[in-house]
Amino acid sequence: MAASRYRRFLRLCEEWPVEASKQQRDLGSVLRQRVAQAFREGENTPISDPEACDQMYESLVRIHTNFYKNKYPRLKDTTFTGVTVEDCRTILATDILKQMEDIKKGKWKRLREKFSAKKPEEDLK
């Protein structure tokens, strides 16, 4: 029975898209890592709680198939702030978040990082 659960999770991992703009923060890549950890022995992995495993699978399938998005359609594709889905994707991209972190740094810290031979983390020690 563990073999069929393992195959179902593998099929779900194959179908789940990986978003390249969210490096190491994408749900698809986290899902793949968790499945690899949970099924270390592959099809021979003993499952301590099969009901919880099945429930987790069904929940992930509902997320993947947009079950609740289809069940409860929205009237508009924007949030209360007026931001669209595409704007949210752009803002949450890893590159943009790194740029925002750089902007948050003060001028003195940026200059010190630029001209310092050692990393700023070493200064804190």
Residue ranges covered by each domain of the chain: 1-73, 76-118
Burial class (CB in 10 A: 0-12, 13-18, 19+), 9: buried
Contact 9, 58 (CB under 8 A): no
pLDDT at position 123 is 53
Tell me the pLDDT tens digit for each residue of 57-94.
999 999 999 999 999 988 877 777 777 877 777 777 76
Indicate whether 55 pLDDT > 60.
yes
> How high is the mean pLDDT of the chain?
80
Average pLDDT score over residue span 45-66: 91
The pLDDT > 90 percentage for the chain reads 20
Indicate whether 121 pLDDT > 60.
no
Q: Sign of the C-alpha dihedral, residues 62, 66, 71, 76?
A: positive
C-alpha span between 49 and 1 (Å, rounded) = 12
Neighbours of 6 (CB within 10 A): 20
pLDDT at position 108 is 73
Contact 30, 100 (CB under 8 A): no
Indicate whether 124 pLDDT > 60.
no
Rounded (10°) angle between helices 2-15 and 27-38: 160
Query: Angle at CA 111, nearest 5°, toward 105 and 116?
Result: 115
Indicate whether 37 pLDDT > 60.
yes
C-alpha span between 120 and 102 (Å, rounded) = 13
Tell me the pLDDT tens digit for each residue of 8-26.
999 999 998 877 777 677 7
DSSP state of 43: G
3-state secondary structure (DSSP) of residue 37: helix
